[in-house]
Protein backbone atom coordinates (compact mmCIF):
# COMPACT_ATOMS: atom_id res chain seq x y z
CA UNK A 1 0.00 0.00 0.00
CA UNK A 2 1.27 3.46 -0.93
CA UNK A 3 0.15 6.41 1.13
CA UNK A 4 0.66 10.14 0.57
CA UNK A 5 0.11 12.36 3.61
CA UNK A 6 -0.23 16.13 3.17
CA UNK A 7 0.80 18.24 6.14
CA UNK A 8 1.02 21.95 6.88
CA UNK A 9 3.39 23.76 9.19
CA UNK A 10 1.39 26.22 11.31
CA UNK A 11 2.09 28.61 14.19
CA UNK A 12 0.90 27.05 17.44
CA UNK A 13 -2.16 29.26 17.79
CA UNK A 14 -2.60 28.14 21.38
CA UNK A 15 0.55 30.17 21.97
CA UNK A 16 -0.56 33.20 19.98
CA UNK A 17 -1.52 36.07 22.26
CA UNK A 18 -3.07 39.43 21.57
CA UNK A 19 -1.35 42.64 22.51
CA UNK A 20 -3.77 44.03 25.09
CA UNK A 21 -3.13 47.62 23.94
CA UNK A 22 -3.19 47.32 20.16
CA UNK A 23 -5.25 44.16 19.79
CA UNK A 24 -2.75 42.80 17.24
CA UNK A 25 -1.26 39.31 17.24
CA UNK A 26 2.01 38.77 19.04
CA UNK A 27 3.73 36.14 16.89
CA UNK A 28 7.31 36.61 18.03
CA UNK A 29 8.67 33.46 19.57
CA UNK A 30 5.55 31.47 18.71
CA UNK A 31 6.67 27.92 17.88
CA UNK A 32 5.75 26.24 14.58
CA UNK A 33 4.16 22.82 14.73
CA UNK A 34 2.70 20.20 12.40
CA UNK A 35 -0.98 21.06 12.18
CA UNK A 36 -2.80 18.76 14.68
CA UNK A 37 -5.35 17.27 12.24
CA UNK A 38 -2.49 16.56 9.79
CA UNK A 39 -0.39 14.93 12.50
CA UNK A 40 -3.29 12.56 13.22
CA UNK A 41 -3.34 11.77 9.49
CA UNK A 42 0.37 11.02 9.56
CA UNK A 43 -0.06 8.80 12.61
CA UNK A 44 -2.91 6.94 10.88
CA UNK A 45 -0.60 6.33 7.89
CA UNK A 46 2.22 5.12 10.13
CA UNK A 47 -0.15 2.70 11.87
CA UNK A 48 -1.10 1.28 8.48
CA UNK A 49 2.63 0.99 7.77
CA UNK A 50 3.17 -0.87 11.06
CA UNK A 51 0.28 -3.25 10.34
CA UNK A 52 0.55 -3.80 6.57
CA UNK A 53 3.97 -2.51 5.53
CA UNK A 54 2.78 0.61 3.73
CA UNK A 55 5.15 3.13 2.13
CA UNK A 56 4.47 6.62 3.47
CA UNK A 57 5.35 9.79 1.55
CA UNK A 58 4.79 13.14 3.26
CA UNK A 59 4.25 16.29 1.21
CA UNK A 60 4.11 19.87 2.40
CA UNK A 61 3.87 23.16 0.57
CA UNK A 62 5.40 26.20 2.20
CA UNK A 63 8.46 28.37 2.63
CA UNK A 64 11.92 26.71 3.01
CA UNK A 65 11.62 26.60 6.83
CA UNK A 66 8.67 24.19 6.45
CA UNK A 67 11.36 21.49 6.08
CA UNK A 68 11.42 21.33 9.89
CA UNK A 69 7.92 19.84 9.79
CA UNK A 70 9.19 17.28 7.27
CA UNK A 71 12.16 16.39 9.48
CA UNK A 72 9.73 15.70 12.29
CA UNK A 73 7.54 13.57 9.98
CA UNK A 74 10.61 11.60 8.92
CA UNK A 75 11.72 11.12 12.52
CA UNK A 76 8.24 9.77 13.31
CA UNK A 77 8.67 7.13 10.62
CA UNK A 78 7.79 8.51 7.16
CA UNK A 79 9.74 6.92 4.30
CA UNK A 80 10.00 9.88 1.96
CA UNK A 81 9.44 13.61 2.46
CA UNK A 82 8.89 16.27 -0.20
CA UNK A 83 8.86 20.05 0.16
CA UNK A 84 6.96 22.02 -2.46
CA UNK A 85 8.48 25.44 -2.41
CA UNK A 86 8.65 28.10 -5.09
CA UNK A 87 7.95 31.81 -5.21
CA UNK A 88 5.16 31.19 -7.74
CA UNK A 89 3.32 29.07 -5.14
CA UNK A 90 3.20 31.96 -2.65
CA UNK A 91 0.02 33.81 -1.72
CA UNK A 92 -2.20 30.90 -2.74
CA UNK A 93 -5.79 30.55 -1.61
CA UNK A 94 -7.29 27.09 -1.11
CA UNK A 95 -8.05 26.48 -4.80
CA UNK A 96 -4.51 27.39 -5.93
CA UNK A 97 -2.97 25.45 -3.02
CA UNK A 98 -4.97 22.34 -3.78
CA UNK A 99 -4.13 22.62 -7.50
CA UNK A 100 -0.39 22.75 -6.72
CA UNK A 101 -0.45 19.89 -4.22
CA UNK A 102 -2.62 17.73 -6.50
CA UNK A 103 -0.15 18.30 -9.36
CA UNK A 104 2.65 17.06 -7.10
CA UNK A 105 0.66 14.00 -5.95
CA UNK A 106 0.03 13.09 -9.61
CA UNK A 107 3.79 12.51 -9.87
CA UNK A 108 3.61 9.91 -7.08
CA UNK A 109 2.11 6.42 -6.77
CA UNK A 110 -0.69 6.23 -4.23
CA UNK A 111 -3.57 4.10 -3.02
CA UNK A 112 -4.53 6.46 -0.23
CA UNK A 113 -4.12 10.22 0.18
CA UNK A 114 -4.54 11.66 3.67
CA UNK A 115 -4.92 15.32 4.65
CA UNK A 116 -5.93 16.80 7.97
CA UNK A 117 -9.47 18.11 8.14
CA UNK A 118 -8.39 21.72 8.58
CA UNK A 119 -5.42 23.83 9.66
CA UNK A 120 -5.55 25.80 12.89
CA UNK A 121 -4.33 29.03 11.29
CA UNK A 122 -6.89 29.20 8.48
CA UNK A 123 -9.65 26.81 9.60
CA UNK A 124 -11.01 26.44 6.06
CA UNK A 125 -11.22 22.61 5.70
CA UNK A 126 -11.24 23.15 1.92
CA UNK A 127 -7.87 21.95 0.64
CA UNK A 128 -8.48 18.21 1.26
CA UNK A 129 -11.76 17.97 -0.68
CA UNK A 130 -10.35 20.20 -3.43
CA UNK A 131 -7.29 17.93 -3.85
CA UNK A 132 -9.68 14.96 -4.08
CA UNK A 133 -11.59 16.70 -6.87
CA UNK A 134 -8.43 17.55 -8.84
CA UNK A 135 -7.30 13.91 -8.56
CA UNK A 136 -10.77 12.52 -9.33
CA UNK A 137 -10.80 10.56 -6.05
CA UNK A 138 -13.69 9.80 -3.72
CA UNK A 139 -13.29 11.83 -0.53
CA UNK A 140 -14.33 11.06 3.00
CA UNK A 141 -13.85 14.06 5.28
CA UNK A 142 -14.14 14.28 9.11
CA UNK A 143 -12.70 10.78 9.56
CA UNK A 144 -12.24 9.51 13.12
CA UNK A 145 -11.53 5.84 12.39
CA UNK A 146 -10.05 3.93 9.46
CA UNK A 147 -10.02 0.17 8.85
CA UNK A 148 -8.13 -1.34 5.94
CA UNK A 149 -9.83 -4.36 4.33
CA UNK A 150 -7.37 -5.07 1.53
CA UNK A 151 -8.94 -3.60 -1.58
CA UNK A 152 -11.30 -1.30 0.24
CA UNK A 153 -11.55 0.60 3.54
CA UNK A 154 -14.32 1.15 6.06
CA UNK A 155 -14.12 4.58 7.66
CA UNK A 156 -16.05 6.37 10.37
CA UNK A 157 -17.23 9.79 9.15
CA UNK A 158 -18.32 12.19 11.89
CA UNK A 159 -21.31 14.55 11.64
CA UNK A 160 -22.64 17.02 14.23
CA UNK A 161 -25.38 14.58 15.24
CA UNK A 162 -23.76 11.18 14.74
CA UNK A 163 -21.55 9.23 12.38
CA UNK A 164 -21.65 7.19 9.19
CA UNK A 165 -19.70 4.03 8.44
CA UNK A 166 -18.62 4.31 4.81
CA UNK A 167 -17.12 1.69 2.53
CA UNK A 168 -14.74 3.19 -0.01
CA UNK A 169 -12.48 1.57 -2.60
CA UNK A 170 -8.86 2.53 -3.24
CA UNK A 171 -7.58 4.93 -4.38
CA UNK A 172 -9.33 7.48 -2.20
CA UNK A 173 -8.69 10.57 -0.06
CA UNK A 174 -9.60 11.01 3.59
CA UNK A 175 -9.39 14.08 5.84
CA UNK A 176 -8.59 13.21 9.44
CA UNK A 177 -9.63 14.66 12.80
CA UNK A 178 -7.00 15.28 15.46
CA UNK A 179 -8.98 13.18 17.97
CA UNK A 180 -8.58 10.14 15.71
CA UNK A 181 -5.46 8.99 17.54
CA UNK A 182 -2.59 10.00 19.80
CA UNK A 183 0.39 10.73 17.56
CA UNK A 184 3.67 8.99 18.39
CA UNK A 185 6.85 10.79 19.33
CA UNK A 186 9.82 10.98 17.02
CA UNK A 187 12.18 8.02 17.49
CA UNK A 188 15.81 8.66 18.38
CA UNK A 189 17.29 7.07 15.27
CA UNK A 190 14.82 9.03 13.15
CA UNK A 191 15.85 12.30 14.78
CA UNK A 192 19.54 11.56 14.22
CA UNK A 193 18.96 10.54 10.60
CA UNK A 194 16.74 13.55 9.96
CA UNK A 195 19.54 15.81 11.12
CA UNK A 196 22.52 13.97 9.61
CA UNK A 197 21.60 12.10 6.47
CA UNK A 198 18.13 13.19 5.44
CA UNK A 199 18.09 15.23 2.29
CA UNK A 200 14.74 16.89 1.93
CA UNK A 201 13.51 16.54 -1.62
CA UNK A 202 12.60 19.99 -2.81
CA UNK A 203 10.21 20.36 -5.71
CA UNK A 204 9.70 23.61 -7.55
CA UNK A 205 7.17 24.65 -10.16
CA UNK A 206 9.35 23.14 -12.88
CA UNK A 207 9.09 19.72 -11.17
CA UNK A 208 5.31 19.44 -11.50
CA UNK A 209 2.97 19.55 -14.48
CA UNK A 210 0.73 22.51 -13.83
CA UNK A 211 -0.50 25.72 -15.40
CA UNK A 212 1.38 28.69 -13.96
CA UNK A 213 -1.81 30.74 -14.27
CA UNK A 214 -3.37 28.48 -11.62
CA UNK A 215 -0.55 28.84 -9.06
CA UNK A 216 -0.08 31.17 -6.10
CA UNK A 217 -1.63 34.58 -5.74
CA UNK A 218 -2.26 34.85 -9.48
CA UNK A 219 -4.16 31.57 -9.56
CA UNK A 220 -6.29 32.41 -6.52
CA UNK A 221 -9.90 33.38 -7.25
CA UNK A 222 -10.30 34.80 -3.73
CA UNK A 223 -8.38 37.82 -2.45
CA UNK A 224 -8.08 39.27 1.02
CA UNK A 225 -9.61 42.74 0.82
CA UNK A 226 -8.75 43.66 4.39
CA UNK A 227 -8.00 42.07 7.73
CA UNK A 228 -8.55 43.42 11.19
CA UNK A 229 -8.49 42.34 14.80
CA UNK A 230 -11.53 42.26 16.97
CA UNK A 231 -9.60 44.31 19.49
CA UNK A 232 -8.55 43.58 23.02
CA UNK A 233 -11.20 42.20 25.29
CA UNK A 234 -12.84 44.57 27.73
CA UNK A 235 -14.82 43.50 30.75
CA UNK A 236 -18.53 43.62 29.89
CA UNK A 237 -21.46 44.95 31.84
CA UNK A 238 -22.17 43.58 35.30
CA UNK A 239 -25.85 43.65 36.22
CA UNK A 240 -27.72 43.32 39.51
CA UNK A 241 -31.46 42.91 40.07
CA UNK A 242 -34.19 40.39 40.77
CA UNK A 243 -33.72 36.88 39.33
CA UNK A 244 -36.52 37.52 36.82
CA UNK A 245 -35.02 40.82 35.62
CA UNK A 246 -31.63 39.21 35.28
CA UNK A 247 -32.97 36.21 33.33
CA UNK A 248 -34.70 38.59 30.91
CA UNK A 249 -31.50 40.67 30.58
CA UNK A 250 -29.58 37.53 29.55
CA UNK A 251 -32.24 36.60 27.00
CA UNK A 252 -32.13 40.11 25.50
CA UNK A 253 -28.37 39.99 25.17
CA UNK A 254 -28.38 36.53 23.57
CA UNK A 255 -30.96 37.82 21.10
CA UNK A 256 -28.84 40.83 20.27
CA UNK A 257 -25.88 38.51 19.60
CA UNK A 258 -28.06 36.21 17.43
CA UNK A 259 -27.26 33.30 19.71
CA UNK A 260 -30.96 32.51 20.19
Partner 1 sequence: MNQKDYSGVLVFAEQRSGEIQNVSLELLGKGRKIADELGASLMAVLPGKDMKKHSRLLIEYGADQVVLIEDDSLSIYMTEPYTQAVVQTIETYKPEVVLFGATSIGRDLAPRVSARIRTGLTADCTSLDVSEDKMLLMTRPAFGGNIMATIVCPDHRPQMSTVRPGVMTKMERDASRVGEVIESDWKPERNTQWVEVLSFEQETDEKQDIQEATVLISGGRGVGSAENFGVLYDLADELGGMVSASRAAVDSGWMDHERQVGQTGKTVRPNLYFACGISGAIQHVAGMEEADFIVAVNKDKNAKIFEVADLGIVGDVHKIIPLLTEEIKKINESKKVK
Of 108-127, binders to partner 1 (CB under 8 A) are 120-127
Residues in 45-74 at the binding interface with partner 1, rule: CB under 8 A: none
| For partner 1, the closer CB: 38 or 67 | 38
In the three-class reduction of DSSP (H, G, I as helix; E, B as strand; rest coil), residue 54 is classed as: coil
| For partner 1, the closer CB: 52 or 152 | 152
**Pairwise CA distance, residues 95 & 97, whole Å:** 5
In the shown chain, the binding pattern of residues 143 to 182 toward partner 1, with x for contact by CB under 8 A and - for none, equals: -----------x---xxxxxxxxxxxx--x------x---
| For partner 1, the closer CB: 71 or 94 | 94
Q: Judged by CB under 8 A, does residue 239 bind partner 1? A: yes
Q: Judged by CB under 8 A, does residue 249 bind partner 1? A: yes
Please write down the HEC assignment for all residues of 123-152. Answer: CCCCHHHHHHHHHCCCEEEEEEEEEECCCE
Q: How many other C-beta atoms can be found within 10 angstroms of the C-beta atom of residue 94? A: 19
Element (H, E) at 45: helix 36-52
In the three-class reduction of DSSP (H, G, I as helix; E, B as strand; rest coil), residue 192 is classed as: helix
Pick the binder of partner 1 from 36, 41, 116, 129 (CB under 8 A): 129
Q: Judged by CB under 8 A, does residue 130 bind partner 1? A: yes
Amino acid sequence: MKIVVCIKQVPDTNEVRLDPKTGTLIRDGVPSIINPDDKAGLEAALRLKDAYGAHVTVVTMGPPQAKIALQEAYAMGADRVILLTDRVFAGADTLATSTTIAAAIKKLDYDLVITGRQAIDGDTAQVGPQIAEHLGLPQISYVSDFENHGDYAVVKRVFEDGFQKIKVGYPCLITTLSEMNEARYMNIRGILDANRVLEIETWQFSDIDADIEEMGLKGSPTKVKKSFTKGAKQAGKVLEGTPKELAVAIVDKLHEKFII
